[in-house]
Chains A and B, each alone.
Chain A
Amino acid sequence: MEFQKATPEERRRYYREEWDIKQIPRFIRHSLYQREFGFDHHGRGPNDRYRTFRNEDHLRKFMRYRTPFEAYTSVAFYQKPNRREGWLKSELVFDVDAKDLPIRSCDCGSVCEVCLDQAKNIVSDLKDTLQGDLGLKEIHMIYSGRGYHLRVQDEEVLGTDSEVRSQIVKYLVGAEVPRSEYSNQGMTYNLEHFTVPFGYPQVFTQRVKQSILYLNEDILMEEVNKKLIKDVIKNRHLLVDDQWGPFRNAIGPIRYKRLVKALAFVNLGLVDAKVSIDLKRILRLPSSLHSMVSMKCTEIKNLETFDPLRDAVPRFVNERRD
């Protein structure tokens, strides 16, 4: 499928014939009056900011009449959203963009079915950790047009500051190598991350495993040379069955240490950390059109069965083919 820019006429058709305000997730519709909206009318960035809507009807009319190139809404809730004042809380969000994945399973240069699928797997893993480790429950998944957004609505995290959010990001993506030395009663013991099947070491192990399985010879990583990458690729079949010990032995302990350190840094790129730590970010409005690629920003009910190329394609794109 080609990801073409939508024409003004196509945008008009989309917002007047296909779009419905009820496609905006309830968690946004219920807090419209506390959110800032931003719009890009001409494809030059969201410079129409500080917009507010008192109710769904006002927003519906605006969208139908203006048919914006892109539409965004704040993750923050304000007392005075039209001035971005009186910050109350912010959704906790994670942005996984298929085109910015640090290790890609394709070489499309932009976005294709393969890297979108890879992004979907990452989102699934992140969601598991948010639920299993952090105990968060109200997690909404959105297909953004070129990747995915995870939007957490659990009240207990909405008031957290940027620092806490940056710690959550690092935990989720496995951005730090877990310590391997532990002491007890004067003795020091060595426990590699893959020997601890729970908590952060397990998260790290899973993320590193995925990165290794997607690794290709063109990747540039700090202090990892071509030879090491070749050896990793040669031996990575061991990780399919989680044979970490033999894998580490095949690589050699010193080189293994170097590898996981480099991968921890790479993992930081799994999500756009800036989006997660910015409390006043505006994020693409679910249900709106991503006009640059002619895809619908869509709330996902079931990630496993969701197929962006089937479920997020506007009608006018199918008609283009006809």
Chain B
Amino acid sequence: MVGVSFINPLSMEGRERVRQLGSLDSLIQDNPELIELVTRSKSQDISEDQDIPRNYLEMALKRLEWYVKKRNDRDFNYRKFAFLFQEDIEKYDIISFYLLSQAIGVRFGPNSRESRLMVESQGSLIQNRLEELNSRERTEIVLKALQELLSQETVKWTFFENLLSSRRIQLSDLVLDQGEVIMDREDFRNRFGSRLQHRDPDKMYQLLIGQELQELILIRMVMQQTENYMAEVHEKARLMVEPNPLLLELADKVTEILIQPTTSYGGSGGGGGYSYTGPLNREAFPPCVKNALEGIKSGGRNDAIVLFITPFVSYARLCPDIFKQNVTVQVSDKDPELQVVHNEVLPLIYEAAERCVPPLFEDQPQEKININAKLGFGMHSNLKLENEGETKWYTPMSCEKIKLHLPHLCRPDEDCKKIGNPLSYYNRKNWILSKERTESEDNVGKEGYNEEKEKEDQANGWIEVKKDDA
């Protein structure tokens, strides 16, 4: 039977394993037992030495590398990482989980892209490990792990506040009654059995709750705990004089893994792999951005300019592929002298603020400081490199958030259906426009280019993107 800590390294069992760990020196020494386990793992396809983790540190990196490659690499070979799913690797897996979480917590903190990746990788690892188990084992281990996590008979929905806050679960995913989350079969039958007509309550339980919801809750809770653990480590490290050099070394290697080039998926799929970096192309802005740039005439000026336009314009200009990146980015990584920010980004934001009724800075001049803060330069009246990092460079709001915060701006067009974030719209639209430009240039060579006709065609909507491209 697989141990709970193989699914949840932060369980009591997992923590106990860590406590038993001896000297830290052993973490970087070659470990013959680990090497043996990896090379003898079932269905492995390891042909090169570099594919074999030789110690705890390398094992930690393999955990993350598995996830990054699985997600991004078209040539990903699952069998090179088959050892991650062998129960007998558990001891090494737990220690490597803690090492990795601590390294990322110390160096990058809880709100970084690195920590997000760590959390996601842990969730994905649990999911894959559960799928490797037979049905009975899977049910038992999920129940056992959940019992420890929930540790009470009735669970109120507010117990999942952190999970709801991080959007790891949706309130509508849960089956709620009188404030309680219904997970137990008997409880389900007692509460809802009489309401179900012509349907077997047990079958309904299996479909609506059953294994699927329990696994979802388990996985998301472990992900949340992983994030909390990194936040705890980060907080402790802030108070300590110097973190363990081993962790810093591991953190450097984490960065190396995350920036490794990969043969990415989706290179030609509807602009999925396309990102255009260069002067802002207003033609490619989504309707919500165009509306906001025209100026906000009613309420919500602050949110529209500070929370919506500032992140959108800055990322569209400097880092349009942010959602594909694995590492934390600062404005100065893309614009070291801040020239682009001063000459292109801020003027556009200020222009939109000026167009508001009344002009935003007229009655709320402090919003200029808030704009600087959203670009990552702290609460200061001027953008200075020395202040960078005091606040986070806000990523653009998703469409879902816009619908809630700024519903009057959301007037979706045809292209909006294919995206979930205005920045993705911008990348996609740029891709479409560049494709159209290339095609029209080809037409010039072949049969002459009729600009007037193309304009007319565009106005009539006759130039369409093929469905396959989306």
Q: Which residues of A contact B (CB under 8 A)?
A: 132-136, 156-157, 160-161, 163-164, 166-171, 176, 178, 182-185, 189, 191, 195-200, 222, 265, 268-269, 273-274, 277
Q: How many residues of B contact A (CB 8 A)?
A: 41
> Contact at B195–A166, with CB atoms within 8 Å?
no
30 A-B Cβ contacts within 8 A? Answer: A134-B157, A135-B156, A135-B178, A156-B158, A157-B158, A160-B158, A160-B161, A160-B164, A163-B164, A163-B165, A163-B166, A163-B167, A164-B161, A164-B165, A166-B401, A166-B404, A167-B167, A167-B171, A170-B172, A171-B171, A171-B172, A182-B208, A183-B207, A191-B207, A196-B208, A198-B175, A199-B208, A200-B175, A200-B176, A274-B300
> Contact at B171–A168, with CB atoms within 8 Å?
yes
**B212 contacts A by Cβ under 8 Å:** yes
With the chains together, A161 CA to B206 CA distance in Å? 32
A134: chain B residues within 8 A (beta carbon): 157, 176, 179
B135: chain A residues within 8 A (beta carbon): 185
A156: chain B residues within 8 A (beta carbon): 156, 158
> Contact at A178–B172, with CB atoms within 8 Å?
yes
Q: Which residues of B contact A (CB under 8 A)?
A: 135, 156-158, 161, 164-167, 170-172, 174-180, 182, 191-192, 195-196, 199, 203-204, 206-208, 210-212, 299-300, 401, 403-405, 407, 412
With the chains together, A91 CA to B204 CA distance in Å? 36
Q: Give 18 A-B pairs besides A160-B165, A199-B177, A200-B174 with Cβ atoms closer than 8 angstroms.
A: A133-B177, A133-B178, A134-B157, A156-B156, A160-B158, A163-B166, A167-B164, A170-B171, A170-B172, A184-B206, A184-B211, A197-B192, A197-B195, A199-B182, A200-B176, A222-B412, A273-B404, A274-B407
B170: chain A residues within 8 A (beta carbon): 167, 170, 176
Centre residue among A168, A197, A265 by max chain B CB count within 10 A: A197
Question: Whole-angstrom distance from the CB of B198 to the nearest CB of chain A?
Answer: 9
Given contacts A199-B177, A274-B300, contact A169 B212 (CB under 8 A): no
Question: Whole-angstrom distance from the CB of A306 to the nearest CB of chain B?
Answer: 26
B405: chain A residues within 8 A (beta carbon): 273-274, 277
B166: chain A residues within 8 A (beta carbon): 163
Given contacts A164-B165, A169-B404, A191-B207, contact A135 B171 (CB under 8 A): no
Q: Which 9 A-B pairs have the closest CB atoms?
A: A135-B179, A182-B207, A200-B172, A167-B171, A197-B195, A199-B175, A133-B176, A171-B171, A273-B404
B195: chain A residues within 8 A (beta carbon): 197-198
Given contacts A157-B158, A277-B404, contact A198 B207 (CB under 8 A): no
A273: chain B residues within 8 A (beta carbon): 404-405, 407
Question: Whole-angstrom distance from the CB of A158 to the nearest CB of chain B?
Answer: 11
Question: Whole-angstrom distance from the CB of A204 to the nearest CB of chain B?
Answer: 8
Question: Whole-angstrom distance from the CB of A154 to the nearest CB of chain B?
Answer: 9
Question: Whole-angstrom distance from the CB of B202 to the nearest CB of chain A?
Answer: 11
Among B172, B300, B407, the residue within 8 A (CB) of A176 is B172
> Contact at B177–A268, with CB atoms within 8 Å?
no
Tell me the number of A-to-B contacts counted with CB atoms below 8 Å.
101
B164: chain A residues within 8 A (beta carbon): 160, 163-164, 167
With the chains together, A81 CA to B467 CA distance in Å? 55
A184: chain B residues within 8 A (beta carbon): 203, 206-207, 210-212
With the chains together, A171 CA to B176 CA distance in Å? 11
Question: Whole-angstrom distance from the CB of B75 to the nearest CB of chain A?
Answer: 30
> Can you name the residue of chain A whose Cβ is closest to the Cβ of B410?
A265
A170: chain B residues within 8 A (beta carbon): 170-172
Question: Whole-angstrom distance from the CB of A137 to the nearest CB of chain B?
Answer: 9
A136: chain B residues within 8 A (beta carbon): 179
> Can you name the residue of chain B whose Cβ is closest to the Cβ of A199?
B175
B158: chain A residues within 8 A (beta carbon): 156-157, 160
Given contacts A156-B158, A164-B165, A167-B164, contact A268 B404 (CB under 8 A): yes
> Contact at A189–B171, with CB atoms within 8 Å?
no
B404: chain A residues within 8 A (beta carbon): 166, 169, 268, 273-274, 277
> Contact at A198–B177, with CB atoms within 8 Å?
yes
B212: chain A residues within 8 A (beta carbon): 182-184
With the chains together, A169 CA to B206 CA distance in Å? 28
> Contact at B403–A268, with CB atoms within 8 Å?
yes
